[in-house]
Amino acid sequence: MNRCYYLLLTLCFNIGLLQAQQKENTSFKPGEIWPDTDGEHINAHGGGVLYHKGTYYWFGEHKTTGRNGNRAMVGVGCYSSKDLNNWKNEGIALQVEEQDTTSDIIKGCIIERPKVVYNNKTKKFVMWFHLELKDQGYSAARTAVAISDTPVGPYTYLKSYRPNGGQWPLNMQEEWKHKTVKEADLKGWTDEWKKEVAEGLFIRRDFDKGQMARDMTVFVDDDGKAYHVHASEENLTLHISELSDDYLSFTGKWTVVAPAGHNEAPAICKYKGKYYMITSGCTGWDPNAARSFVSESIWGSWKALGNPAVGTGADLTFESQSTFILPVAGKKDAFIFMADRWRPKKPIDGRYIWLPLIFEDEKPVIRWQDEWTLESTFGKNKSQALGKADSK
Ligand code: DGJ
């Protein structure tokens, strides 16, 4: 009898546990623990989302516990979802190398802000990410690429480098290319220094070895052309570069945005034919006020629009930093601002700030909400909001 009672109790406990684990998420709760379909807090920081054939795939930095939590000890994580609220852990899409110490992606390196795009011509999934070589701090400043036949991977690592070596940006004036002024000749952060940065001080310095590439994103335009956007020149200036048709390399066509503006964490979307970019300032893991820009062409000129966040908490972007702008599939002009609330002392506990990104007077606007749903924000009919758009 005692044994039966014990078995029944165990069964009830396990069923209860299972039910708790399988509880559906029905809304976005920015900043709270976000349980995946196994009940575990999602581990995909600095992420980006790919929509492909009716499913969303969220790729992000897989953080670990302990003092190396911000280093790549495991790789890039992937989750899938049909509704953007409930995410299934698909495992590690790109694994760090454990044995070959000569590998760029040896365990303990830094992998940040992975973004995956689908190439319609080659039918391959292409992952770009910011890579810092093991034990070199943030000095390598490389971008890296991996490829897969399936969205969830496994991705095969291809190469990493500083892009655009030997190539001048489109908006570099001829006379700037021949200037001889060097960093050592100038005092930092003066107007003169900023002018020299704008006139190519660091571009000339890094011309031969390639331009620095740290915080990044990849944007695919309506015509299928893809662009790599990254913080360069010691994080002073953003670079936008065209990717080759297979998305696996740089074509050498690139431009400079907001020179000496100190922007990182770029995220881009297209709304009513114009390009909008949201960035942050540069304060490490600490939050700061977001910035926004608009341009008629991806090649500029980009005009600053100020902080897109409004209301209480806007001065620190609701304690978060941009990572991606997610177009809601099948719903015209519906965008989600994705950002990270970093927890550098316990990176695995980092939180996700997903908020509606709307446009008011042709400016992007982000307002805080404790809780929100796709339906209440972008339309009542769920099938209207989800599921029709093709993958980009
Ligand atoms: C801010 C960047 O946006 C993050 O991705 C990360 O590189 C931290 N800096 C490191 O301090």
Q: What is the DSSP string of 86-110?
A: --EEEEEEEEPBSS-TTSTTBTTBE
pLDDT digits (tens, 9 = 90+) for 180-239: 999 999 999 999 999 999 999 999 999 999 999 999 999 999 999 999 999 999 999 999
CB atoms within 10 A of CB 38: 10
pLDDT digits (tens, 9 = 90+) for 145-196: 999 999 999 999 999 999 999 999 999 999 999 999 999 999 999 999 999 9
Res 5: pLDDT: 58
Ligand 1 interacting residues, C-beta cut-off 6 A: 46, 112-113, 215, 264-265, 284-285, 321
Q: Which of 316, 320, 321 to mutate to test the pocket of ligand 1 (most atoms within 8 A of CB)?
A: 321
Cα–Cα distance measured from residue 212 to residue 111, given in angstroms and rounded to the nearest whole number = 15
Which two structure tokens, joined as six digits, stand for 388? 């029709």
Residue 315 phi/psi, 5-degree rounding, is -65, -20
* pLDDT-based confidence at residue 384 (cuts at 50, 70, 90): very low
Q: How many A from CA of 183 to the centre of ligand 1?
A: 24
Q: How many A from CA of 248 to the centre of ligand 1?
A: 24
Q: Which of 145, 223, 268, 146 is nearest to 392 (CA)?
A: 223
β-pairing verdict for 309-310 and 321-327: unpaired
Mean pLDDT of 325-354: 97
Mean pLDDT of 293-310: 98
The DSSP code for 378 is: H
β-pairing verdict for 110-119 and 156-161: unpaired
Mean pLDDT of 126-146: 98
Cα–Cα distance measured from residue 364 to residue 360, given in angstroms and rounded to the nearest whole number = 6
Domains and CATH numbers, the chain: 27-378 (2.115.10.20)
Question: Atom 9, ligand 1: which residue's CA is nearest?
Answer: 284
Q: How many A from CA of 174 to the centre of ligand 1?
A: 34
pLDDT digits (tens, 9 = 90+) for 45-92: 999 999 999 999 999 999 999 889 999 999 999 999 999 999 999 999
Q: How many A from CA of 32 to the centre of ligand 1?
A: 21
Asked if pLDDT for residue 385 goes beyond 50, the answer is no
The DSSP code for 72 is: B
Q: Which residue is it, tokens 């740089």? A: 250
Question: CA torsion, points 78, 81, 84, 89, in degrees to nearest 10?
Answer: -40
Q: How many A from CA of 3 to the centre of ligand 1?
A: 55
Cα–Cα distance measured from residue 25 to residue 372, given in angstroms and rounded to the nearest whole number = 11
